[in-house]
Amino acid sequence: MVTKHQALDALKKLRTEATKRKFEQKVEFIVNLKDLNLKNPDEQVEFFMQVPHAFKTNKVCAIVAGELEAEAKKVCDFTITQGELDKYKNDQKAAKKIADEYDFFIAQANIMGLVAGAFGRVLGPRGKMPNPKAGCVVPPKSSLGPLYERLQSTVKVSAKKFPVMQLVAGKESMKDDEIAENIAYLYNQVEHHLPKERHNIKGSLVKLTMGKPLKLM
């Protein structure tokens, strides 16, 4: 188990030993897993969660039909309409640019087949396809404001190929207390979603982007 107190002690040590960089480093939380057969879909892990303290602005792209176009343009950072999907289907360079620029993609449920046809090859490998688990597949008549706000503190947690989760828990400019709360909450959620809970956790570490990992447990 990783407690807030443990995380605070580790963060203090990280800051003491850190080399000053010309950019703001992220605080990474790493969880090493064990006794999981990741070739078995039942033992793979993927879920979305909201951290107590948001640490970045997630850019959201909406892919919608006419019913949601006005709402999407009002709320989201970028909107692609149903009529524009062929453009991206035929221009993979443009699709890749969109895929790289946005963190989350919202799609209108009744055009998901068209979305997959246009963006599946670029969003799929990046793990960015509109995902119902994150609430990102929506009905034609939706209020997107609450979803957009929720996505600002949403973190994707996944272990499908390798028994390790490398998560971002915060950034240098945040208060240690906030980062520590995020770390403790992330650990708790990871443990809860594993088949054998804490028995599937080999250990955990915390590090700055360019720093050495520090063992937490």
CATH number for domain 60-151, candidates 3.40.367.20, 3.40.430.10, 3.30.1360.200, 3.40.50.790:
3.40.50.790
- pTM: predicted TM-score of the whole model, two decimal places: 0.86
Q: Under 8 Å CB-to-CB from 88, ≥6 apart: which residues?
A: 80, 94, 95, 98, 118, 119
Render pLDDT for 64-123 as a digit per residue (tens, 0 to 9).
998 899 999 999 999 999 999 999 999 999 999 999 999 999 999 999 999 999 999 999
Query: How does residue 217 score in pLDDT terms, banded at 50, 70 and 90?
Result: confident
Query: For the chain, what are the domain ranges?
Result: 4-55+154-215, 60-151
Tens digit of pLDDT for each residue in 161-206? 999 999 999 999 999 999 999 999 999 999 999 999 999 999 999 9
Contact 105, 128 (CB under 8 A): yes
**Angle made by CA atoms 111, 102, 54, in degrees to the nearest 5:** 115
Comparing CA positions, the residue from 204, 180, 179 lying closest to residue 24 is: 179
Q: Is the domain covering 4-55+154-215 a CATH 3.30.190.20 domain?
A: yes
C-beta neighbour count of 132 within 10 angstroms: 11
pLDDT tens-digit readout, 121-143: 999 999 999 999 999 999 998 99
